[in-house]
Structures are given as C-alpha cells and as structure tokens.
A and B are shown apart, each in its own frame.
Chain A
Amino acid sequence: MSKPKCWQDVPPGTIAWGASARDVETGLWRSMRPILDRNKCISCLKCWLQCPDASIETDGEGKVNGINMFFCKGCGVCDKVCPVGAISMHPEADFSSECRKRGEDPGRVADHVR
C-alpha cells in the first residue's frame, strides 16, 4: 500500500493490505552476513525451516538457492542449524569496501548470492 498522504487517503477501519510488509527492508538491521557455500550445501532445508525471517530462498525443486539479503536480519540461526557447515557468518563491515567499489551504499546491500 502506498503511504497515505492525508487523512482523506486513509482506508477505513484501520486496515492495511495483506503482505504489504514485503516492502520493508529488514536486511538493513543486519550486522552479520550469512554466506552460503553452494558446494557444501546439501539442501536439507533445515535453515529454510528455522529461518525466522523466511529469508532462505529455494528454487522450486526444494533446493536452497540463496539468502535474501533484503530481509535477512543476520541472526545466524541458519549457520547454527546447518549440519554440513555450508553457512558462515561475516561482519557486514567486511563487505563495505566491496560495495563501495560497485557504487553501492554499504548500508543497503543487495542480494550477494544471486
């Protein structure tokens, strides 16, 4: 839903539209970034099941495809539940120079996996 500009714009009844929170970039909270090693990943889906932010992405065939950095808050649950050590956590600061080189704002990192 677009943000109401004035009281006349507000929909009645306090309502907000379903699933509109998908516009909210909770990835901006992240201080630690999970990195997925595709070679190690066995797509057991443990991380997918336990991610509080539904940020583990799959390819439609049940294979882990990446981590959605727009939403990932960097809690590290995925790293801890991974049985094969395919996910590792790294300080966001480590990525800032790399982002700047690409002309990105390090506070608004894009999905680095895809």
Chain B
Amino acid sequence: MSDKRKEMTSGNLAFAEAMRQVNPDVVAAYPITPSTEIPMKFAEFVADGKVDSEYVAVESEHSAITACVGASVSGARVMTASSANGVALMHEIFPIAAAFRAPIVFGLVNRSLGAPVNIHCDHSDSMPERDSGWIQIYCEDAQEVYDSVLLAVRLAEHEDVLTPVFVCQDGFITSHCFEPVEMLSDEAVKKFVGERKAKYPLLDVDNPVSYGSFTMSEYYFEIKRNQMEGMNRAPEVYKSLSKELAQYTGREYPMIDAYRAEDADYLIVIMSSATGVVKDVVDEMREKGVKAGCLRVRFFRPFPFEEIRKLAKGKKGIAVLDRSASIGGTAPLAAEIKSALYGLDERVPLQEYIFGLGGRDLYPRDAENVFSRLMDSDFSDTVRYIGLLEKDEENGGN
C-alpha cells in the first residue's frame, strides 16, 4: 500500500524511529538504562531539525512524567520512555495521568527493580503499574515495538478511550538486539496517526477548565468509574485499529498471541521476548506428537479475560510463566489467568512458574521440562522457579 523499508535495528531504535515519524509535540524524558537510547536518539532528531517537537530534558523521571502530563493536558501529543527505578519514581504520577485522560505514549523498557541493582530484564518495573490505569502492551520483538507505537498513539487518543499507554519491551533482549524491522514511509505513518484533537485542552484560555480538583467522597467514586470506562472501551477500539494498521503493514496483532493453541492439550502462557523459545519448543513437541501450544499475553491491561477463557477451555494442563513476582501473593500473570479460568465450568489444572528475574535466560530445555511435567500431571500448589540455583530437595528441581 505504501513504500516500506526494512532495516536492521533494535527495539529502542525502532521505538525512536516510530517517534520521529509520529512527530510528537513534546517529549520530556530522563535517561535510565536500558531505555536511554530512546530519548537520546530523539534528542538527535530534534537537534537535526527532523521533528517539530520540543524536547524537555528534565532533571528526574518524576519531572519527566509530570511535564508529560502538563503537555498532554495542554493538548499536545506527548511521548516518553523509562525503565525500572525510573518507572518506580514516576509511580505517583501515573494514576494522575490516567485520571486526567492524558493520552501519553510511553516506551517502557522492562528492567528489574533494585535491590540488588540489576540492569537486565524482568517485569518487576511495569507490573506494579498494572493498577495505575494505563493500558499495557507487551511486545515480543522490535517489529512489534515499532507497530505498537503507531497503534498506541491512535488507541490512547481515541475519544472513547483517552487513556495513556505503556508499550513494553524486554530490556536488552529486545531493546538492544538488532533484527530486521519493516518500517512504513513517513507519509503513511502521518496518515495513519493523524493529528491529536484534544477535547478540553488546558491552553484553551477562552474556555478555562481546572484539572486535578480536590474531590472528597461525594464525587471521587463517580470520577473513577467514569475513568474506567475508557479502559473498558479499549479492546473494541484496539481491534479495529489493529485491522486498519494491517492494511498498511500486513501485520495484525491480537490482544493474545495464540500459537498452535486451539487444538493443544498443554499450554504455556508467557509474555514478551521469552515467547520465541517456547514457540520453538512447541514446534518440537508437535513433531513428537505432543499437542503443545503457547499463549503470549500482549495486552496485560485491559486484560483479555474472555479470549483467555476461550483458549484455555478443555486443556489438560496450563503453565503460567511470570517474569516478576508478587512476594507473598500470586505472581501478576498467574493471578489474572487464574481469575480468567474461574469462569470455566470444568477446572483446568494450572502450574505457576517464576522465571528470568534479573535477566536470567529461559532455555528450550526449561520449556520442555515445563511441558513434560504438565504431561505427567505433576502439579504443585506452590509456585516453581525456573533456572534458579536451589537445593535439590526444594521443589524437586524443575
């Protein structure tokens, strides 16, 4: 449909390139590994006059997200990026951004939260934000990052949604590894994303409004419920946007990426870059005659409960692999999956796993092991850990 080009690039650089093409009005950001390349590259675009944007080089992540909220509420199209402790420092402002219905698009490059300090990937930075009122999209590779940025701009700004979006990718694994990415022409992107039309911009001095009121018990509940509606409408809007973008790219991204899942007996549910390993193992198991399958959860918020329920129905066993923990509780992905399965008439056995904290790799043998234990109906009431050094008697190994 339009001129496309293929480049060897990384998740971070693909994100930055999408930003250049979107040409946001304001970017306010603060450097933190492994997302730093995004604002760095974008600052270069600004310095070279390749975008019309204002780049605000703030003095902290807290100020970065605050400036983004101010700019977004003003009516500007706004983007930023961060990771790990930067995301944690922004935490206070995320629910405010969502409540202001500020459609910010945020490149969240997943990295473990300290302590101890670790710069590698897990999802312990984004998962605490699952209740902040933002849409969360988790990408498997750089191509998906690029495409998701375009979708996120439209989704966030859609008048039925008006909700900020995290576009998450795995730190270093996706953000720094080079792979071929197909990009649209600048004109095609411009056409797809269009211009933002804000409904109550702060800068409309002739129709002044006040944002961030003081609201006690008389109205707080109603305002929050009103806000929830934006999130509730996101799936329907997203599905049509995904179809629309596919007309340009030929690629469509459902909220759940189901891989050989429909007729499968055994499923691994996982997110982001580690999915590739599981998909390979699924293929190997299939060759051996085992009906293995994989679900990759792409949208964590809003969580696609209905899709999960349909895909999980009648399975002989499901393993959920979380890349973060909820210490003292159920890990985030497992908690949602279990919640989705509650609606099924017949119980599907489920095993929780935690893997990959602090960037520890997931190997094919790990996924094979998970499948074989599912096949043996080897379920435990407690969570198991993949790739953890532990005494043999604990958890009986993996």
**A positions within 8 Å CB-CB of B:** 4, 6-19
Is B223's CB under 8 angstroms from A10's CB? yes
Q: Which 7 interchain pairs have the tightest Cβ spacing?
A: A18-B208, A7-B225, A7-B222, A13-B101, A10-B226, A15-B209, A16-B210
Segment touching A, from B56-64, B212-220, B333-341: B212-220
Across the interface, B200 reaches (CB within 8 A) one of A9, A10, A13, A19, namely A13
Q: How far is the CA of A82 from the CA of B11 in the complex (A)?
A: 69
Chain B contacts for A15, CB-based, 8 A? 200, 209-211, 213
Q: How far is the CA of A108 from the CA of B24 in the complex (A)?
A: 53
From residue A70, how far is it (CB to closest CB) to chain B in Å?
21
From residue A9, how far is it (CB to closest CB) to chain B in Å?
8
Which residues B145-164 have CB closer than 8 A to chain A? 162
Which residues B217-248 have CB closer than 8 A to chain A? 219, 221-223, 225-227, 230
A-B contact pairs, 28 of them (CB 8 A): A4-B219, A7-B221, A7-B222, A7-B223, A7-B226, A10-B219, A10-B223, A12-B226, A12-B227, A12-B230, A13-B73, A13-B99, A13-B100, A13-B101, A13-B102, A13-B200, A14-B99, A14-B100, A14-B213, A14-B223, A15-B200, A15-B209, A15-B210, A16-B213, A17-B209, A17-B210, A18-B207, A19-B208
Closest chain A residue, CB of each to CB of B220: A14
Across the interface, A10 reaches (CB within 8 A) one of B100, B211, B212, B222, namely B222
Q: For the complex, is B6 an interface residue (Cβ under 8 Å from A)?
A: no
Q: Digit string of B376-391 for contact with A (CB within 8 Å is 1, else 0)?
A: 0000000000000000
**How many residue pairs between the two chains, A and B, have CB atoms under 8 Å in the bound complex?**
53
From residue B391, how far is it (CB to closest CB) to chain A in Å?
53
Q: How far is the CA of A59 from the CA of B45 in the complex (A)?
A: 57
Chain B contacts for A6, CB-based, 8 A? 222
Q: How far is the CA of A8 from the CA of B228 in the complex (A)?
A: 11
Chain A contacts for B5, CB-based, 8 A? none
Q: For the complex, is B191 an interface residue (Cβ under 8 Å from A)?
A: no
Q: How far is the CA of A8 from the CA of B141 in the complex (A)?
A: 39
Q: For the complex, is B288 an interface residue (Cβ under 8 Å from A)?
A: no
- Further contacts, 10 of them, CB under 8 A, given A6-B222, A10-B226, A17-B208: A7-B221, A7-B223, A7-B226, A10-B223, A12-B227, A13-B99, A13-B162, A14-B99, A15-B210, A18-B210
Q: How far is the CA of A108 from the CA of B101 in the complex (A)?
A: 39
Closest chain B residue, CB of each to CB of A9: B222
Chain A contacts for B225, CB-based, 8 A? 7
Chain A contacts for B212, CB-based, 8 A? 14
From residue B179, how far is it (CB to closest CB) to chain A in Å?
39
Q: How far is the CA of A6 from the CA of B100 in the complex (A)?
A: 19
From residue A71, how far is it (CB to closest CB) to chain B in Å?
19
Chain A contacts for B226, CB-based, 8 A? 7-8, 10, 12
Is A12's CB under 8 angstroms from B209's CB? no
Q: How far is the CA of A51 from the CA of B99 in the complex (A)?
A: 35
Q: How far is the CA of A40 from the CA of B199 in the complex (A)?
A: 52
Q: Digit string of B193-210 for contact with A (CB within 8 Å is 1, else 0)?
A: 000000110000001111
Chain A contacts for B99, CB-based, 8 A? 13-14
Chain B contacts for A7, CB-based, 8 A? 221-223, 225-226
Is A12's CB under 8 angstroms from B210's CB? no
Q: How far is the CA of A9 from the CA of B225 in the complex (A)?
A: 11
Which residues B90-143 have CB closer than 8 A to chain A? 99-102
